[in-house]
Structure 1
Amino acid sequence: MMTVHATYFDRLGTALRASGRPADEVAAIVAELAAHLADADGADPVEEFGAPEEFAARLTGGAEVAGPATGAETWKWTTDIYNDRRLLNQYGDQGWEVERLDRLGRFVCRRDPADALRWEYCRAMANGAAERAARTAELAPDAWEPCGHWAFYMYFKRPKAASAGPAAALDALARTPAEHVMFGGRVRRVLVVTGLLALVAVVALVCSDYGDFVAAHPWSLAVFAAAGVAGGLGGWYGTKRDVAKGVEE
């Protein structure tokens, strides 16, 4: 039986490497699946996972095929750092694979109804290319691969089969979400307060003689500018602190 298992995983590893997966990532995937099979009392790997070449294609999402598959769905959406991991994994369970983040910080996702996989995601902090490379190297042994970065954080994905085995099979697809912006309550409250403060400031300036006010208080523009910069920096560092702590709603 062990010879059968070894032959199966040898073929699986060969197919994964042929699809372009790094050797250390392949070794991690094979080890994880072999452990899963051992926990299943030595079940037949073909019955559990299917033919090794076909299973490799499912694990890689058909990575050897250039360009999007015919009929593949695309969806762009954004959220905040307090809800991103929860929503990524929620939609990853529905077969949505993040391909990249665009310049607006939106997740650019695709899903092929004919060959959909469950995906799981994680997030890491990284300042600059060197740290992004270091984070990628740290997570690669667990089959995580980068799928985009924005500001000082980056995202990783892997097929859920790498951790859940056959339980990650996706039999039915949920509809494509209609939502594209999904901010949580914390961010919505900040946006409302910021908008109200800006509105109050504009109304106050309009109702007063702005020219006379500035002439009488020439330092006012510098104060307003400094307050804006301080608020922006405070928000930036507060967000960075929350990312480091993994704060969620």
Structure 2
Amino acid sequence: MSAATSGVRATARILARPDGRGGTALPVLAGEGPLALRRTRGSADEARVMVIGAMSGPLGGDHLTIEAGVEDGARLHVGSAAATLALPGQAKGEARYDVRLTVADGGELRWLPEQLISAYDSDLHVRTRADLGPAARLVLREEQVLGRAGEEPGRLTSRLSVRIAGRTVLDQELSCGPGAPGGWDGPAGLGGRRAVGQLVVVRPEFAEHPVSARVVGEGAAVLPLAGPAALVTAVASDALRLRRLLDEALDSIG
């Protein structure tokens, strides 16, 4: 980790593999800087990890990275203890938050962090990449809240890409806040709403029985992807309503 005037550089790493007794071991669980990792109580075959913010951030100029790998036969659930708050910092320039996920055949990852809040005057680029084997399983949730209560948002650019067996099934980018392309908050964009989320579900059985496209609740849509995967996109007025929409959509997928 470094903390020069250009901001903090920190990387947290997680590796999950079968423990030989029907459970999941974590031979690598290494936090750094503001990214602290804690193993919590899981189920018989699933390991659970919480990401705990040990410092404020990401701030302007920071570059934070989380890497998580799941081997064949392992099951991993990753959450966070609280929302991530993007803030302006003393260092000039944008902040970056990279998430790199790898799931082997026979592995399963549930990536379910709390919301990312874009505070006024912040500038954050988030890049999430998931690389899966053809028989891997994934539930990945992203939630972004634009501004705190009564506050204008900062600039937030979020890119999400998913590859299965080396084939890209999803690669999308959303940019919101000051300086974002025109129309992001208009009727063709968020329509004045301040919370937006995505949910990606990958299951091998979707190859034979793909998810049908449909609307869920008010503001959420389920779409099949070109692979054994489905995408849920939702917009809402606040974080609580957004979570309810995403949970309802996940339940509808079954």
Scaled to the shorter chain, the TM-score interval is under 0.3
Structure with greater helix share of residues: 1
Higher relative contact order (CA 8 A, sep 6+): 1
The structure that is strand-richer by fraction is 2
Mark the structure with the bigger radius of gyration.
1
